Amino acid sequence: MRHVLSATVQNVPGVLAHVSGMLASRGYNIDSLAVGETEDPGFSRMTFVLRGDDRVLDQVRRQLEKIVTVVRVDDISSRNYVERDLMLIKVAVTAGARRTEVKELAEVFRGRIVDVAPDSVIVEISGPEAKIEGFIDLMRPLGILETARTGRIAMVRGSPPTREWTHAGDGGRPADAAEASESLA
């Protein structure tokens, strides 16, 4: 079973290494990992995609929650959420019909060409994993030279936002919704 976990962590050096090292040392494979600063510069959000049964998910969650710099861990895969991946893909094409084909397919997938060279183009495309994989499958016969992907990021739909944490100065412990709203105002 595929699980999407969203972890709010203190934005301090070494958090990514600590979290990924803990998961690797316990034999958990991460299908995707993306991390970036939140709307509060004192915190970052890590989005993990893992595969495993509920027992594995529970173990991963408990291990993450033991790390001092981890403020909150949510399994959002059971909720209504939006998930996106960003990819740059370099395709071997010269001027002419093949380049036009890549351009038209990029438009169909709501992507865009971001670089043109004499023998290749780079297409930027974002969306759910299935969309990205579908575009890759269509580009494969043309000759994929290189790909780079961000990994999945996800956010629960609707409001209120999941901002139930305090500032790192408070030890990063979860707060109730009223305290969290005040601390982020």
Of 30-34, 85-89, 91-95, 178-182, the range with the lowest mean pLDDT is 178-182
| CATH 3.30.70.1150 boundaries in the chain | 82-149
177, pLDDT greater than 80:
no
Given a cut of 80, is residue 76 above it in pLDDT? yes
b (16+ CB within 10 A) / e for 136-164: eeebeebeeeeeebbbbbbeeeeeeebbb
* Residues forming beta bridges with residue 154, ordered by sequence position: 83
Question: What pTM, to 2 d.p., does this model score?
Answer: 0.74
Q: At what angle do helices 15-25 and 54-66 cross, to 10 degrees?
A: 140
* φ, ψ dihedrals at 105, nearest 5°: -65, -40
Is it the case that residue 178 has pLDDT exceeding 70? no
Task: Name 106's Cβ contacts closer than 8 Å, sequence gap at least 6.
Answer: 112, 113, 123, 125
Amino acid symbol at 88: L
Is residue 160 reached through a cis peptide bond, with omega within 30 degrees of 0 on the bond before it? yes
pLDDT band (50, 70, 90) for residue 57: confident
Radius of gyration for the alpha carbons in the chain, expressed in angstroms and rounded: 20
Where do you find CATH 3.30.70.260 in the chain? 2-78
Q: What is the phi/psi pair of residue 92, to 5°?
A: -80, 105
- CATH fold label, 82-149: Alpha-Beta Plaits (3.30.70)
CATH second-level architecture of 2-78?
Answer: 2-Layer Sandwich (3.30)
